[in-house]
Amino acid sequence: MLVLVAPGQGAQTPGFLAPWLELPGAADRLAGYSVAAGLDLAHYGTKADADEIRDTKVAQPLLVAAGLLAAAELNTVPGLVAGHSVGEITAAALAGVLDRSDAMAFVAARGRAMAEAAAVTETGMSAVLGGDPEQVVAHLTALGLTPANVNGAGQIVAAGTLAQLAALAADRPDKARVMPLKVAGAFHTAHMAPAVAALEAVASSLSVGDPVLPYVSNADGKTVDNGAEVVRRLVAQVSNPVRWDLCMETFKRFGVTAIIEVAPGGTLVGLAKRALPGVRALALKTPDDLEAARALIAELGAPAEERAE
């Protein structure tokens, strides 16, 4: 069984979208996504520098657009879909919960709301790599930090004020490394509570359908078969922790044999390689990876995509 996964914020790099736009039809699709998001995504994905695409208002729509472009090139129906943080919006579109235009409008509103919430206090996130998970969580709590992403494979992401993160860098958990992340706020914490109300208002205007294939929620790793519940979770997740570790446990229960991470892939495949031994994992970093991905899909016998863009 194949699971298609979509990465979260921080996966973007300057110019990463350029080779994707050379594919037939990709520039036209991105132009439509840009209109829905109210942003020139072609500029941000090809010419903008690291600081510009670090901006939450830009990074989030850019990542969802990239994921949708890459998934369209695969022309397949996976057995499961899931996304990390903002990648859940990509997954919701792939599952048929949101059409592409609504997904792009929603993620643009999400990016704006979270950027506004992040501007209230100087906050950020750092990955804690290694150490005993229970001891790491206890250490973060003692410093006033939130374990905002419990990713499994020895990785927990701490979120809080810059002062709290500086304290973490100076006082690391036993046998753990700390790595600052390229994000502009303490996402998936109480710092993002103001964004929830803003997204609730946007969600009420969306056209929502039930998932047409199993959708794994990163709130708790459970599959959700009701579209309205998926959207409720998309709204709530901006201020709640991501439990990617539980998503990977669900992949095990479903008997997943292969994972493909849509562009800009790499982060989730890295976690899978450590947490899901024996599962084949492939990241779509550039279009050069499509040949291997299609070969893997053919080997699995996954059905072709029939839904419209």
Question: Which residues, given as ranges, of the chain have pLDDT below 50?
Answer: 307-309
CATH 3.30.70.250 maps onto the chain at 123-180
What pLDDT score does 177 carry? 96
pTM of the model: 0.93
- SS3 of the chain: the string is CEEEEECCCCCCCCCCCCCHHHCCCHHHHHHHHHHHHCCCHHHHHHCCCHHHHHCHHHHHHHHHHHHHHHHHHHCCCCCEEEECCCHHHHHHHHCCCCCHHHHHHHHHHHHHHHHHHHCCCCEEEEEEEECCHHHHHHHHHHCCCEEEEEEECCEEEEEEEHHHHHHHHHCCCCCEEEEECCCCCCCCCHHHHHHHHHHHHHHCCCCCCCCCCCEECCCCCCEECCHHHHHHHHHHHHHCCECHHHHHHHHHHHCCCEEEECCCCCHHHHHHHHHCCCCEEEECCCHHHHHHHHHHHHHHCCCCCCCCC
pLDDT digits (tens, 9 = 90+) for 149-186: 999 989 999 999 999 999 999 999 999 999 998 787 89
What pLDDT score does 308 carry? 43
What pLDDT score does 306 carry? 56
Q: Single out the catalytic residue among 34, 84, 85, 191.
A: 85
What pLDDT score does 132 carry? 93
What pLDDT score does 307 carry? 46
What pLDDT score does 301 carry? 83
CATH of domain 2-118+189-300: 3.40.366.10
To the query of whether residue 188 is one of the catalytic residues in this protein, the response is: yes
CATH 3.40.366.10 maps onto the chain at 2-118+189-300
Homologous superfamily of the 123-180 domain (CATH): Malonyl-CoA ACP transacylase, ACP-binding (3.30.70.250)
Q: Single out the catalytic residue among 188, 191, 217, 239.
A: 188
To the query of whether residue 85 is one of the catalytic residues in this protein, the response is: yes
